[in-house]
């Protein structure tokens, strides 16, 4: 079944774990947006593997991973990752495919990302990986794609033109040193030789796979609330992390998608700036951050933590068309005597059941909570829904009710075995 996995919160929902479970039944794994701002963690045999660009289901033998046209690719990061996969015995020459229409990240994108962030009055808290500036070039139609990199003449001309513009920008606006053409050209031509064996026309590659009845698994990066259109703009990333991004970012029609799974933690986290109505007070924040090891997989930054917000997850269910949700990190709530779930917001004298588009309004929203009893025992050993403590079952049933779709998978720990499917799969 062709499946999309999307984040239903602000990213870091544990998609890597869910994808790892689903990848068993898939043939081709596809990233369709974002870049190495993402960090999908998978733990196999007590060894942790963090994926940034390559689809994270690749740890299963015999799978093929495609980096789609909608992804922005830092070649250095990609090559470092393929190196690590090779060290694990994966035949990367066969397993990793790269769309020739994907846009490339250059050092000037990373430089601009950091400088622009520092110059902003309202910080976004970007990862500094050059993601936003690379997407800016894509939309401005001056970006450099993988296909350009493979053609020495075209690449030289495009790089010269970009450097002329970026260097003017860097020196006039930020008093920074310009980037030199030759070393950058040589470095990227070296990358071209290493990447070339992986390059395909992404959309055609997938259409051939669909014709052969191969099963596709699309791996969303970040989350719905970080989507450039449907998230908490401007505190978002620069791509469409939602399910709609699959069609544009991989070149497949909506009709080929058969199932959409949203992933949500049993509580909420976010990295970077922006309003977060259910954010914990400091002591609880510290407790959950420590227990949940809530530090960014890409930047190591501490994540902000808060109660489950049913308003934002319901929004995610709607805009993605989720058939079901996977709930991760249930075990992190094991010690809580009482658990709060946000069921709406209070804004001035008004009660809101929906998520406001005006961020200054969201920043003023007070969460309306429903309190549920905690279970205060360990859930990490459960292998079926019925083996969970009654209070945990009641909590999950209430989440299903609030977000309007059933739960299809529950994860109760970081290990591969600590996840089980629920209901009709
Ligand atoms: P950028 O994607 O680096 O431009 O960062 C924009 C915003 O998205 C920042 O708030 C980042 O912290 C956030 N962000 C980007 N990628 C991820 C991710 O994979 N998980 C969580 N937050 C992310």
Mean pLDDT confidence for 126-144: 97
pLDDT at 297: 80
Given a cut of 80, is residue 342 above it in pLDDT? yes
Tell me the mean pLDDT in the region 316-320.
98
Which pLDDT score is estimated for 160? 98
Nearest residue CA, atom 20 of ligand 1?
11
**Ligand 1 contact, 232 CB (< 6 A):** no
Domain boundary assignment for the chain: 3-101+198-260, 103-195, 264-421
Does residue 125 line the site of ligand 1, with CB under 6 A?
A: yes
pLDDT value of position 296: 85
CB 298 within 8 A of CB 38: yes
Neighbours of 147 (CB within 10 A): 15
The confidence score (pLDDT) of residue 425 equals 65
Whole-angstrom distance, CA of residue 228 vs CA of residue 236:
6
**Atom 16 (ligand 1) nearest CA:** 37
**Is the pLDDT at 48 greater than 90, yes or no?**
no
User: Strand 338-347 relative to strand 366-373: parallel, antiparallel, unpaired?
Assistant: antiparallel
How many whole angstroms separate alpha carbon 195 and alpha carbon 31? 17
Whether the CB of 11 sits within 6 Å of ligand 1: yes
Mean pLDDT of 217-235: 97
**Residue 20 annotated as catalytic:** no
Cβ–ligand 1 contact at 297 (below 6 Å): no
Q: Tell me, which fold does domain 3-101+198-260 have in CATH?
A: Adenylosuccinate Synthetase; Chain A, domain 1 (3.40.440)
Active-site residue identified among 12, 113, 137, 331: 12
By alpha-carbon position, which residue is closest to atom 10 of ligand 1? 272
Q: How far is the CA of 226 from the centre of ligand 1 (A)?
A: 7
The answer to whether 243 and 30 have CB atoms below 8 angstroms apart is no
Strands 28-31 and 304-306: unpaired
Three-state DSSP state, 49: strand
* Integer Cα distance of 142 and 159 in angstroms: 10
Whether residue 41 has pLDDT greater than 90: no
**Residue with the nearest Cα to atom 9 of ligand 1?**
126
Q: Specify the pLDDT at position 284.
A: 96
The neighbour count for residue 23, using CB atoms within 10 Å, is 23
State the pLDDT at residue 424. 65
More confident residue, 56 or 332: 332
Q: How confident is the model at residue 298 (pLDDT cuts 50, 70, 90)?
A: confident
Look up residue 212 and give its two tokens.
């052969």
The two tokens of residue 152 are: 């020495």
pLDDT grade for 330, boundaries at 50, 70 and 90? very high
Residue 125 confidence (pLDDT): 93
CATH no., domain 264-421: 3.90.170.10
What is the pTM (predicted TM-score) of this model? 0.96
Quickly state the pLDDT bin for 232 (edges 50, 70, 90): very high
Contacts of 164 (CB under 8 A, 6+ apart): none
Half-sphere exposure of 43 (CA within 13 A, CB side): 11
Which whole number is the average pLDDT over 319-337? 98
Task: Judge: domain 103-195, CATH 1.10.300.10.
Answer: yes
Identify the active-site residue in 20, 40, 60, 309.
40
Determine the atom of ligand 1 nearest the C-alpha atom of 271.
12
The question of whether 40 is a catalytic residue gets the answer yes
Phi and psi at residue 324, in whole multiples of 5°? -160, 170
Q: From atom 2 of ligand 1, which residue's Cα is the shortest distance away? A: 237
**Dist. CA 381 → ligand 1 center (Å):** 32
Q: Are the CB atoms for 260 and 350 separated by under 8 Å? A: no
Mean pLDDT along residues 387-392? 97
Is 203 a residue whose pLDDT tops 70? yes
Whether the per-residue pLDDT at 74 is higher than 90: the answer is: yes
Residue spans of alpha helices (H) in 212-305? 244-250, 282-291
Mean pLDDT across the chain: 96
Q: Do 264-421 and 103-195 fall under one CATH topology?
A: no
Please tell me the predicted confidence (pLDDT) of residue 300.
Answer: 87
Share of the chain above pLDDT 90, in %: 90
Which has the higher per-residue pLDDT, 296 or 226? Answer: 226
Q: Are 421 and 408 in contact (CB under 8 A)?
A: yes
| Residue 201 pLDDT | 98
Rounded CA-CA distance 322/306 in Å is: 23
Residue 122 — very low, low, confident or very high, per pLDDT cuts 50/70/90? confident
Mutating to test ligand 1, I would choose from 126, 223, 265, 295 the residue with most ligand atoms within 8 A of its C-beta, which is: 126
Segments of 235-332 assigned E as strands: 259-265, 268-270, 304-306, 308-309, 324-328
Confidence of residue 187 (pLDDT cuts 50, 70, 90): very high
Measure the CA–CA gap between 402 and 339, rounded to whole angstroms: 15
pLDDT at position 49:
85
Q: DSSP for 96-144?
A: EEEETTPEEP-HHHHHHHHHHHHH-SS-----SSSHHHHHHHHHHT---
């Amino acid at each position: 079944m062709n499946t999309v996995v999307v984040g239903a919160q602000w990213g870091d929902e544990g998609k890597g774990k869910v994808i790892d479970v689903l990848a068993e039944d898939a043939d081709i794994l596809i990233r369709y947006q974002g870049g190495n701002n993402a960090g999908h963690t998978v733990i196999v045999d007590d060894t942790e593997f963090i994926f940034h660009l390559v689809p994270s289901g690749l740890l299963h033998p015999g799978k093929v991973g495609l980096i789609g046209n909608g992804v922005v690719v830092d070649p250095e990061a990609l090559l470092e990752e393929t190196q690590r996969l090779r060290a694990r015995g994966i035949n990367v020459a066969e397993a990793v495919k790269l769309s020739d229409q994907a846009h490339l990240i250059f050092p000037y994108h990373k430089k601009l990302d950091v400088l622009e962030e520092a110059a902003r009055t309202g910080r976004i808290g970007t990862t500094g990986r050059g993601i936003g500036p690379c997407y800016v070039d894509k939309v401005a139609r001056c970006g450099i794609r993988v296909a350009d990199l493979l053609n020495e003449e075209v690449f030289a001309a495009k790089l010269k033109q970009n450097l002329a513009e970026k260097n003017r920008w860097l020196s006039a606006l930020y008093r920074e040193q310009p980037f030199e053409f030759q070393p950058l050209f040589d470095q990227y031509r070296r990358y071209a030789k290493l990447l070339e064996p992986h390059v395909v026309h992404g959309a055609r590659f997938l259409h051939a796979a669909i014709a052969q009845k191969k099963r596709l698994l699309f791996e969303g990066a970040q989350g719905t609330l970080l989507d450039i259109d449907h998230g908490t703009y401007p505190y978002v990333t620069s791509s469409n992390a939602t399910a709609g991004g699959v069609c544009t970012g991989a070149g497949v029609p909506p009709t080929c998608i058969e199932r959409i799974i949203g992933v949500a933690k049993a509580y909420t986290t976010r990295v970077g700036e922006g309003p977060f109505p259910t954010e914990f007070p400091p002591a609880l924040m510290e407790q959950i951050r420590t227990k949940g090891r809530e530090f960014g997989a890409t930047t190591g930054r501490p994540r902000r933590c808060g109660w489950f917000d049913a308003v934002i997850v319901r929004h995610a269910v709607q805009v993605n068309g989720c058939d079901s949700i996977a709930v991760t990190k249930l075990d992190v709530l094991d010690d809580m005597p009482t658990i709060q779930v946000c069921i709406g917001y209070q804004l001035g004298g008004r009660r809101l059941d929906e998520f406001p588009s005006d961020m200054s309004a969201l920043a003023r929203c007070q969460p309306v909570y429903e309190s549920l009893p905690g279970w205060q025992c360990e859930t990490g050993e459960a292998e079926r829904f019925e083996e969970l403590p009654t209070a945990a079952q009641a909590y999950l049933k209430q989440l299903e009710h609030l977000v309007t779709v059933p739960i299809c998978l529950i994860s109760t720990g970081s290990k591969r075995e600590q996840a089980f499917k629920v209901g009709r799969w």
